């Protein structure tokens, strides 16, 4: 299994401007509160399936638990996928995210997140050995990042996408949309960009990917991990814990278990995040309680770009950043 480090001058505020983010969080809290009053579905650890868990944190009217076996952090009482789909269709916070924050930050997201992701995917696809025909790629765009639109720039790729969080009938003009239940589709690659943390059942999603991959096909995953520095340091104050937008924060160990359960081989598992220190600093400034060592780091050392680079590189090199990515292969 290989892993990589990554460098970027991306700032957290580039993609989540403070004022807009505050408004969004308030709206989401209101939406989440209404949803949390409904009947929920009880689930065991979405990664390893263990029923052992400890209460971890309360956030936005939802309770998070930590798996006693693999340390995945998850919402054990959660809406069904159908209910999530309706929630995201109706959520004012979601609409605000897409129409205001996403548009405001689209340019920097494209340059500093989507383009590097495209490089990453293209590099692995170039090693598949498929020649003489386009590579068939599908994205399950649960986060509505529209990564497929960036990949579409590559003429070698035949792009398709699914938005499981939305009713496809709402997007009749989207060329390339496919039905999630289209069982005939076989792909050279499936992209799950920020999807696994958002869907009701990560294993079912990964199994869908596995079933629709050609032999030797690749599954590209990015997801926020519970075992990253900022998530562990900030706990409930971490912006990564964002129900019902994000219901599962897989641990790095849980990620491996999930891949094995879906019958996929882990080719790469990296934590190339660049925002851990920034996120802790941001949380600290917002009043989050953090341990003394972390407080010293962000108050005294985090202004030195060389230090932040070295520290983030250390986190990346040891699988300790919260931004995870994986390449899985169907044997």
Partner 1 sequence: MIRTAIIGYGYMGEIRRRVIEAHQDLELIMVCETDPKRLPKGNFAVTSDPTDVLKNDAELVFVCTPNNLIPELTVECLKRGKHVFAEKPPGRNLADIEAMRDQEKKSPGVKLMFGFNHRYHPGIQRAKRLIESGKFGQLLWVRGVYGKSGGKNFPASWRNKREVSGGGILLDQGIHMLDLFNYFCGDFEDVKAFVNNSFWNVEVEDNAFVILKNKNGQNGMLHSSATLWKHKFQIEIGLEHGYLIVEGLLSKTGSYGRETLKVARREFEDETDAVGNPSEEITYFDRDMSWDIEVNKIAECIVNNTPVSESSSDDAWRVMRIVDRAYKSGLGGQ
Contacting positions for partner 1 (CB under 8 A)? 1-7, 119, 122-123, 126-127, 305-306, 309, 317
- Token representation of residue 56: 């971890």
Least separation in angstroms between CB 324 and partner 1: 15
CB of 29 to partner 1, least distance (A): 37
Q: Which is nearer to partner 1, 83 or 110 (CB)?
A: 110
Which residue(s) pair with 250 in the sheet? 225
From the CB of 119, what's the least distance to partner 1, in Å?
7
Task: Assess contact for 248 and 202: CB atoms under 8 A.
Answer: yes
CB of residue 126 to partner 1, shortest distance in Å: 5
Strands 157-162 and 77-78, how do they pair?
unpaired
Closest of 288, 308, 270, 305 to residue 231, by C-alpha? 288
DSSP string computed for 65-96: EEETTT--EE-SEE--HHHHHHHHHH-HHHHH
In the complex, the smallest distance separating the C-beta of residue 309 from partner 1, rounded to whole angstroms, is 6
CB of 138 to partner 1, least distance (A): 23
Name which of 119 and 175 has its Cβ closer to partner 1. Answer: 119
Nearest to partner 1 of 123, 300 (CB atom): 123
What phi and psi values does residue 118 have, to the nearest 5 degrees? -65, -45
Decide the pairing of beta strands 77-78 and 41-42: antiparallel
Whether the Cβ atoms of residue 104 and residue 88 lie closer than 8 Å to each other = no
Give 6 or 148: the residue with its C-beta nearer to partner 1: 6
Select 123 or 183, whichever has its Cβ closest to partner 1.
123
Give the residue with the Cβ less far from partner 1, 140 or 320: 320
CB of 167: closest distance to partner 1 in angstroms?
38
177 DSSP 8-state letter: B
Is the distance from CB of 68 to CB of 184 less than 8 angstroms? no
Return the closest-CA partner of residue 143 out of 163, 173, 123: 163
CA 217/CA 182 separation, integer angstroms: 18
Using the minimum distance from each CB to partner 1, give the nearer residue, 3 or 102. 3
Q: Minimum Å distance from CB 285 to partner 1?
A: 25
- Helix ranges restricted to H, 37-191: 81-90, 92-96, 102-109, 115-125, 147-151
Residues in the chain: 331
The tokens for 34 are 């209404």
Q: Which is nearer to partner 1, 249 or 274 (CB)?
A: 274
């Amino acid at each position: 299994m290989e892993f990589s480090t990554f460098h970027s001058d991306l700032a957290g505020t580039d993609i989540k401007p403070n004022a807009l983010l505050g408004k969004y969080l308030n709206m989401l809290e209101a939406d989440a509160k209404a949803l949390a009053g409904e009947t929920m579905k009880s689930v065991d650890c979405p990664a390893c399936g263990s029923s052992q868990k400890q209460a971890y944190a309360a956030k936005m009217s939802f309770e998070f638990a930590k798996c006693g076996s693999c340390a995945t952090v998850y919402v054990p009482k959660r809406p069904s996928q159908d209910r999530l789909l309706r929630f995201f269709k109706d959520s004012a916070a979601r609409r605000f995210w897409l129409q205001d924050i996403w548009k405001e930050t689209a340019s920097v997201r494209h340059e500093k997140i989507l383009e590097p992701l495209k490089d990453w995917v293209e590099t692995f696809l170039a090693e598949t050995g498929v020649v003489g025909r386009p590579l068939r790629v599908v994205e399950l765009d649960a986060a509505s990042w529209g990564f497929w639109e960036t990949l579409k720039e590559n003429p070698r790729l035949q792009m398709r996408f699914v938005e499981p969080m939305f009713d496809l009938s709402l997007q009749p003009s989207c060329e390339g949309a496919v039905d999630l239940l289209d069982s005939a589709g076989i792909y050279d690659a499936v992209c799950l960009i920020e999807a696994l943390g958002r869907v009701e059942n990560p294993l079912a999603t990964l199994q869908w990917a596995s079933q629709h991959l050609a032999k030797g096909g690749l599954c590209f995953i990015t997801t926020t991990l519970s075992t990253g520095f900022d998530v562990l340091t900030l706990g409930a104050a971490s912006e990564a814990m964002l129900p019902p937008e994000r219901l599962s924060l897989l641990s790095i160990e849980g990620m491996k278990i999930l891949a094995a359960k879906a019958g996929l081989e882990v080719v790469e598992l990296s934590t190339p995040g660049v925002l851990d220190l920034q996120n802790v600093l941001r949380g600290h400034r917002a009043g989050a309680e953090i341990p003394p060592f972390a407080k010293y780091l962000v108050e005294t050392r985090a202004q030195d770009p060389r230090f932040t680079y070295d520290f983030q590189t250390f986190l990346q090199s040891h699988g300790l950043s919260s931004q995870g990515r994986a390449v899985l292969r169907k044997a």
